[in-house]
């Protein structure tokens, strides 16, 4: 959709993303066009960065070593194609603005039903992963408190907040996006200062960590591929571009520049951060059960910088959880409005989808409690499962774009922004996505996550069959 995607709001569509004559109130909204490339780039980059970078990158480095930079290069290439495909549809069809609506018109109601439920389920997995990440960050100060205590506690707090207020999300998310970007850039600069002997430190690995322990490709190409699901999870929060594309001014130039800026920023920040980590810590001991960033910063005197950074990423994760649940509630409510879920979940009180929040919140709290049973591996299973679900959604977006472009052209729509090289680039994106899914056997923990993702997708498909049969019967009766 998608490893925090905001980190992780962007992994869930917001209510405004789901507006169309079939997916909303029935009214066609007038969309203001006032977002420039700078603001859109900041929103997109901030939406992508989350616990996938600040925590899951540790496991990715363990799998690929310093060659994680090659995994990131493959990842940003796939991300760029998916972003361009989504932006093409959103910019051309400004009144709808949701990939679910696009899938409905291009592939039929079945695709929208299954895609919507997969999106909702993956969104819950994602915010549960963020809750677990927040708990892991908190244990820097409370190492003896079990992970599940904090993860469930954070989940309950965020569910409660979503019953009380719907205001202030955009301001908080914009502020936290800038904070995450600035904190990551500062971390890279600190590592450079350590390597240049500007900052004193008791010990560090140095640049030999990139080539001599035992080398840049410690596990060969297999390691690069094994890390791909975690890499794409960390980049999966691209949906904010689809949300904001209808509001872009000078659409073609703005979106093209935003995609270019995002690719450069994500690659520089992610590769810079991973190289910084492997210059401060030996790659095969980079921690996976706490943020490798805070552990790396503890080599500095006083350790105050590690605490400041930990507070920053904890606040970013909590903010992403809040916005993520806000959006996920509205996905379920929208499914109720389009008769893809019981109508009761679509009911609102004082502007709040309370029933949708209750159902989503209960499942969110229960999955966040997974750390009780798997205290050391809960986060890893959640992020890999979310990663596979995000890949399924990316695949659906690409397939939708292949068919929807033809529909848009037949309707005489002006494609203000186009994915270049169509249909070959679209097909290439699908091949790459399927290739990443096929890497699951290379990492032991990923097979279980893939099985969960496939099982959930099949369950949603089976759930649609009686609805499809009922619709066909009603059409025959008419």
User: pLDDT by residue (tens digit) across 254-291?
Assistant: 888 888 888 899 999 999 999 999 988 888 888 888 89
Query: What's the gap between Cα 313 and its chain centre?
Result: 16
Question: What is the model's pLDDT at position 246?
Answer: 66
Residue 180 lies in a domain: yes
Alpha helix ranges (H) inside 281-413: 292-297, 304-337, 354-368, 378-410
Which residue, among 1, 100, 425, 39, has the nearest Cα to 247 in the 3D structure? Answer: 39
Q: What count of residues does the chain have?
A: 478
Q: In the 8-state DSSP scheme, what is residue 347?
A: -
Q: Are 436 and 232 in contact (CB under 8 A)?
A: yes
Give residues with Cβ within 8 angstroms of 256, minimum separation 6: 417
Of residues 98 and 376, the one with the higher pLDDT is 376
**pTM, entire model:** 0.83
pLDDT tens for residues 60-91?
999 999 999 999 999 999 999 998 998 888 87
Residue 139 lies in a domain: yes
Question: What is the model's pLDDT at position 27?
Answer: 41
Where residue 421 falls (left for φ over 0; alpha for ψ -120 to 50; beta otherwise) is left
Residue 453 lies in a domain: yes
What are the two backbone dihedrals, phi and then psi, of residue 434, each rounded to the nearest 5 degrees? -65, -35
Provide the residue range defining the domain that includes 79.
Answer: 15-477
Residue 161 lies in a domain: yes
Residue 2 lies in a domain: no
What are the two backbone dihedrals, phi and then psi, of residue 227, each rounded to the nearest 5 degrees? -85, -5
Question: What is the model's pLDDT at position 76?
Answer: 92
Alpha carbon separation from 376 to 136, 147, 380 (Å, rounded): 10, 9, 8
pLDDT tens for residues 30-45?
555 667 777 778 778 8
Q: What CATH number did the domain enclosing 198 receive?
A: 1.20.1740.10
Q: How many C-alpha atoms does 199 have within 13 Å on its Cβ side?
A: 21
Q: How many domains does the chain have?
A: 1
Residue 8 lies in a domain: no
Of the pLDDT bands very low, low, confident and very high (cuts 50, 70, 90), residue 396 is: very high
Residue 47 lies in a domain: yes
Structure tokens at 401: 């774009």
% of the chain exceeding 70 in pLDDT:
87
Residue 290 lies in a domain: yes
Measure the CA–CA gap between 336 and 332, rounded to whole angstroms: 6
Calculate Rg over the CA atoms of the chain: 22
């Amino acid at each position: 959709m998608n490893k925090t995607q905001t980190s992780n709001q962007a992994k869930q569509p917001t209510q405004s993303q789901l507006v169309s004559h079939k997916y909303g109130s029935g009214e066609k909204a007038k969309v203001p066009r006032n977002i420039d490339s700078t603001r859109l780039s900041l929103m997109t980059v901030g939406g992508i960065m989350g616990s996938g970078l600040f925590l899951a990158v540790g496991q990715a480095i363990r799998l690929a070593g310093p060659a994680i930079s090659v995994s990131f290069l493959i990842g940003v290439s796939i991300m760029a194609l998916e972003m361009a495909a989504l932006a093409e549809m959103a910019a051309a069809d400004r009144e709808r603005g949701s990939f679910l609506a696009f899938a409905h018109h291009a592939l039929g109601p079945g695709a929208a039903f299954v895609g919507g439920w997969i999106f909702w389920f993956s969104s819950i997995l994602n915010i549960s992963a963020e809750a677990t990440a927040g708990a892991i960050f908190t244990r820097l100060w409370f190492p003896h408190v079990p992970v599940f205590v904090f993860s469930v506690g954070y989940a309950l707090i965020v569910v409660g907040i979503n019953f009380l207020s719907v205001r202030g999300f955009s301001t908080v998310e914009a502020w936290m996006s800038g904070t995450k970007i600035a904190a990551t850039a500062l971390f890279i600069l600190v590592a450079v200062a350590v390597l240049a002997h500007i900052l004193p430190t008791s010990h560090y690995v140095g640049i030999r960590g990139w080539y001599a322990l035992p080398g840049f490709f410690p596990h060969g190409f297999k390691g690069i591929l094994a890390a791909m699901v975690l890499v794409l999870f960390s980049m999966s929060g691209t949906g904010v571009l689809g949300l904001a594309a209808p509001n872009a001014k000078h659409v073609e130039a703005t979106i093209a520049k935003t995609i270019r800026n995002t690719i450069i920023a994500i690659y520089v920040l992610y590769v810079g951060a991973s190289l910084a980590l492997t210059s401060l810590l030996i790659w095969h001991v980079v921690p996976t059960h706490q943020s490798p960033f805070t552990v790396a910063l503890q080599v500095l005197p006083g350790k105050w910088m590690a605490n400041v950074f930990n507070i920053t990423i904890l606040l970013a994760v909590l903010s992403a959880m809040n916005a993520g649940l806000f959006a996920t509630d509205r996905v379920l409510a929208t499914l109720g409005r389009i008769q893809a879920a019981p109508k009761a979940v679509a009911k609102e009180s004082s502007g709040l989808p309370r029933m949708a929040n209750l159902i989503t919140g209960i499942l969110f709290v229960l999955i966040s409690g997974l750390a009780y049973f798997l205290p050391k591996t809960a986060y890893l299973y959640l992020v890999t499962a979310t990663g596979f679900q995000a890949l399924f959604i990316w695949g659906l977006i690409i397939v939708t774009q292949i068919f929807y472009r033809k529909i848009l052209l037949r309707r005489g729509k002006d494609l203000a922004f186009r994915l270049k090289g169509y249909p070959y680039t679209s097909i290439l994106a699908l091949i790459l996505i399927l290739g990443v899914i096929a890497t699951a056997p290379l990492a032991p923990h990923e097979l279980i996550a893939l099985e969960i993702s496939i099982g959930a997708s099949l369950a949603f498909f089976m759930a649609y069959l009686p609805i499809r049969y009922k619709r066909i019967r009603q059409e025959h009766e008419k």
